Each structure stands twice: as C-alpha cells, then as structure tokens.
C-alpha cells in the first residue's frame, strides 16, 4: 500500500505538511509526503510534448501510488494556485491520467476557525472532474496554530483519530479497487 501525501502549502513549517507527516506516523510505511510541488512550472499546452522534469516526477509519483491524501490550505477562499496548476498538469490527457479512478481524500488546516473548508470543497470538485474516486471523508483543522506540537505534528488526540480514519478510508477504497479488478 502506497498513499502519496501532497500538501498544498510550500511553507517550511506548513500545518498542512504537518497533517501529511502526522498521517505518515499514524500509518507507518503506507503514507509518504511528496514535496515536489514547488518545482512545477505554470501549465502550458505547448509544453505538453516535453514537460519539465518536475511534471514527469509528479505524474510518476501519482502513477506509482495506490491512493492520494491531499492536505490543502485556503488562499482567498479557494485552492492554492500552484496545487491546482499541478493537478492541471497531472490531468492531461484526461482519459489516461494517473489520478483516474484512484482513491483520493482531502483534508485541510488553516489558522482561522474554518479549517480550509472552501478550499477542500473546491479541491474535491477538481479531483472529481479529473476522474479520481473522491472519498467523502472530511477533516477541517481550524485554529491550526494551537493544534500542532513542537515537531509540527497534529497534537489533538481527537483530530489524530479522525485523520487516522481518513487514511483508513483511503486504504479501504484501495483494497476495494483491488478486489474489483481481481
């Protein structure tokens, strides 16, 4: 089982990267953080025949994953531009893109009280349009500045349990996909 964890925040001490790293602690050996977003150039159809190495790496990482856990912050009530841009690259061509039918879950953290709920909703919409199997599980970590320990991991036990539940849902959906294919 290999679940790719992608944080929509590039900041070194990102709370959303902290959510992914916490998920990796909760499901050892099954969740791994992929941090190549920053190197991905703006989407340009002219570059599709010869995409940048960072795009090739993203597609390869997605293709090699059984499922994906996205943790997104919220910029101006929506998905960070660089995360949407990376998904636009990953989605081409739509009929054979590596996210197609792949179980994905979306969580998010923000320093405000809402926990990036609008960005999460928009990210789910984008992922569904790409053809991913978007799970209904939700986790909105509001007031993030008070929710993480000094190592940057989620400290609140209830939130940790809910995050573990989200990861479990991805694992279950991957198992179901394997069973359908068998």
Partner 1 sequence: MTATMETIAPAGTWQLDPVHSTVAFEVDYLAGTFKGDFRDIAATLAVEGDTARLEGVAKVASVDVKDENLAAHLQSPDFFDAERHPELRFAAENVALDGDSVTIRGEITIKGVTKPAAIAGTVAPPMTDPYGKERIGLKVATTVDRTDFGVSWNAPLPSGDPALSNDVTIVGDLHFVKA
Interface with partner 1 by CB under 8 A: which residues?
Answer: 93-95, 100-101, 128-134, 177, 180
Closest separation between CB of residue 176 and partner 1, Å?
8
CB of 173 vs partner 1, minimal distance in Å: 10
Torsion, Cα of 89, 92, 97, 102 (10° steps) = 50
Q: Is the peptide bond before 93 cis (omega within 30 degrees of 0)?
A: yes
**Minimum CB distance to partner 1 smaller for 145 or for 180:** 180
Q: What is the residue-wise DSSP string for 43-74?
A: P-GGGTTS--HHHHHHHHHHHT-SEEEEEE--
d(CA 180, CA 92): 25
Residue 173 CA: distances (Å) to CA of 10, 81, 104, 140, 146: 28, 28, 9, 21, 32
Closest approach, Cβ 68 to partner 1, in A, equals 14
CB of 122 to partner 1, least distance (A): 13
Q: Which is nearer to partner 1, 124 or 147 (CB)?
A: 124
Report the distance separating Cα 162 and Cα 178, nearest Å: 24
Closer CB to partner 1, residue 149 or residue 172? 172
| C-beta of 134 vs 141, nearer to partner 1 | 134
131 vs 142 by CB, closer to partner 1? 131
Shortest Å distance, C-beta 70 to partner 1: 16
């Amino acid at each position: 089982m290999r679940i790719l964890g992608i944080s929509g925040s590039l900041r070194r001490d990102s709370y959303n990267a902290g959510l992914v790293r916490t998920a990796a602690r909760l499901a050892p050996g099954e969740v791994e953080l992929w941090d190549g977003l920053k190197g991905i150039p703006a989407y340009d159809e002219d570059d599709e025949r010869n995409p940048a190495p960072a795009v090739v790496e993203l597609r390869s990482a997605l293709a090699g994953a059984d499922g994906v856990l996205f943790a997104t912050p919220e910029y101006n009530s929506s998905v960070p531009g660089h995360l949407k841009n990376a998904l636009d690259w990953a989605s081409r061509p739509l009929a054979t893109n590596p996210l197609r039918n792949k179980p994905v879950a979306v969580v998010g953290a923000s320093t405000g009280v809402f926990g990036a709920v609008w960005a999460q909703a928009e990210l789910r919409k984008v992922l569904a349009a790409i053809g991913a199997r978007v799970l209904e599980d939700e986790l909105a970590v509001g007031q993030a500045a008070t929710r993480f320990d000094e190592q940057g991991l989620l400290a609140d036990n209830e939130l940790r349990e809910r995050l573990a539940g989200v990861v479990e849902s991805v694992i279950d959906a991957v198992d179901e996909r394997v069973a359908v294919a068998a």
